[in-house]
Structure 1
Amino acid sequence: MTTALITGATSGIGAAFARRLAADGHDLVMVARDTERLRAQATELHDRHRIEARVLTADLSTERGIGAVEKRLADGRDPVDLLVNNAGFGNKGRFTDVPVADELLMLKVHCEAVLRLTRAAVGPMRERGRGGVVNVASVAAFVPRGTYGASKAWVVQFTQGVAKDLAGSGLRLMVLCPGFVRTEFHRRAGMGTDNIPGWMWLDADRVVSAGLADLDRGKTVSIPDPRYKVLLGAAKLVPRGLLAGISSRTGRKYGPR
């Protein structure tokens, strides 16, 4: 039996990863801030799939929270075989409207936590000669979208670089870049979604299925929907100044997730 650790596991893409991996027979370590919600979901997945689902309450915007997850990943007595770095959030408003402290908090969750947890995971995995890491980014990484897009662009480049460094080690690293996904992401940030066309929305369970299939294929970057692959291909032909204007009109505050 293998074990997967998922951050941001109580909703959206993280919860979809938990459902899918539990259904596939993996034990889980579910990480989030809401202990009560974590326990309820862990109990449901245990009862439904007869797997072990443990909870780890941690706020990855804090040193204590990141440290607690690092410690769990380093536990050689109960190794983690797959790490899913999914925790994240968006800030509503343009760059000049958002407090700097909120932007720095985003960088801690999206960048520092991803770096440190990936580092904590791949050490023991490399010793065993197997394991995987999925870092959840966004198609916002490929278009001008302020701090959110910049942080996700960092996740893409970081994952690709580490994957190259660990080539031949038996480890698989992949960055998952979905578009707009129907989750709690926008509501939690107080963001409206009325200006986003219906065809741009993705289902979280399908995103996860496509992402895991790409991980099995050995892909380093996964864009889990043909519509977004076409959009990003077309974006390469559009001048960046025009792309920035389009991005701002759809709303940088509506960072895909």
Structure 2
Amino acid sequence: MDYQNRAGNKGAGVAGTSEANVDRRERLRKLALETIDINKDPYILRNHLGSLECRLCLTLHTNEGSYLAHTQGKKHQTNLARRAAREAAQQQTFADAQRLITGPNANAVEKKRFIKIGRPGYKITKVREPVLSGTNEEEGEEEVGGRLGLLFQIHLPEIKGDVKPLYRFMSSFEQRVEPQNRAWQYLVVAAEPYETISFKLQAREVDNSYGVVYSSMAGTLSLNISTSLPGMMAT
């Protein structure tokens, strides 16, 4: 029986824009369900209000259907393509850098090896700056100088002729011999073929503007530093 062309039949109206959008979103949602597992989507985020957010496009969706329809849209697909291109470029840059470092043209730096002959001898002396009176006591100028300091003398008679001693200050967080403690710092001295030695100092501001004196004839390295509190411990 023909129900469409029978007498008294009224045809349905033409679908409007809103109905067409609803139908389109429903078709996109069904299509997305066939290709996307929403539980494994890295870009979906459920907020405390129960809504869904797309972390890639920074969009907000009221339900899963709206989010799935968004994943099939132009904006989401464009952002996916941009992200993939950016990650590919970053991987290529990293691969090129690794090739430059480890490739056949890279200069192999040979680790320096030598036989250590033991720790060098040293002497530590507490020193103090001379106190200088103010030039004009009537105007209330205070005395200057009088700071406490330490003089480190490291004896290196067996040091190689073409080697100069090296030294530097090291924080407690840079070493792995003792427990880390921000109250201490270390003065490290190295000279081939001796073992590296360090001196434990209180972590206060150090003034080493007096310079370093190294006598190759006597084989002695002298370091004069000033500190407000000369706590020390040789290690």
- TM-score bracket, normalised by the shorter chain, equals under 0.3
More strand by share: 2
- Higher Rg of the two aligned structures: 2
TM-score by length of 2: 0.20
Higher relative contact order (CA 8 A, sep 6+): 1
TM-score by length of 1: 0.18
